[in-house]
Amino acid sequence: MTAHRSAVPLSAQEHEVAALISIQSMTSSPVIQRSAVILSHVGEHALAWIALGLIGAAQDPARRRPWLRATATVAGAHAVSIVAKRVVRRHRPSDPRVTVHVATPSDWSFPSSHAASTTAAAVAYSRLLGRRYPLFSIPVMMTSRVILGVHYPSDVLAGGLLGALMGHWFTRARDASPS
């Protein structure tokens, strides 16, 4: 007997849930899940990224102002994402097939604040460090939020885009003004 496929196309929401379930099934290893939980705590409220920026400002007195502007950009990306969440009011995943691995500070998921602040930090700080390796943190943090079941893929993509725009804005402003 063959399975009957519905002629009704999947909604965008159903595609998101299917992608989330697929990602969770591919990353069900306890090591991966524990790592994602750790990343979640590191990225909470952008505090680790803000602390890194303040450390950069303290350790690099010659470029203290650019470090502080970059740190403000990270905090700004986080703040803008929080405001956007309250405007959009998209609920976090609630499908019974999705496993949620961490608590969240709110019910709203779009855009991902973790993705926004991490991307803003990676873009702004990589420029100050003269190295691209911080950019690796972007897909890692974005994927961890889906693995944990607290965001849809579009949430993390939107958060990443927001963070990239703000991080890019910082680098453009930095290039246009004297340090």
The model's pLDDT over 123-138, given as tens digits with 9 standing for 90+, comes to: 999 888 888 777 878 8
Q: Which long-range contacts (CB under 8 A, 24 or more apart) does 45-52 make?
A: 45/78, 45/105, 45/113, 46/74, 46/75, 46/77, 46/78, 46/113, 46/117, 46/121, 49/74, 49/117, 49/118, 49/120, 49/121, 49/125, 50/74, 50/75, 52/121, 52/125
- Please tell me the predicted confidence (pLDDT) of residue 9: 66
Question: ω into residue 105 within 30 of 0, thus cis?
Answer: no
Tell me the pLDDT band of 1, cut-offs 50, 70 and 90: very low
8 A C-beta contact, residue 116 and residue 93:
no
The pLDDT assigned to 3 comes to 53
pLDDT at 48 over 60: yes
**CA distance readout (Å), 175 to 63, 88, 96, 168, 169:** 13, 33, 48, 11, 10
Q: What is the pTM of this model?
A: 0.84
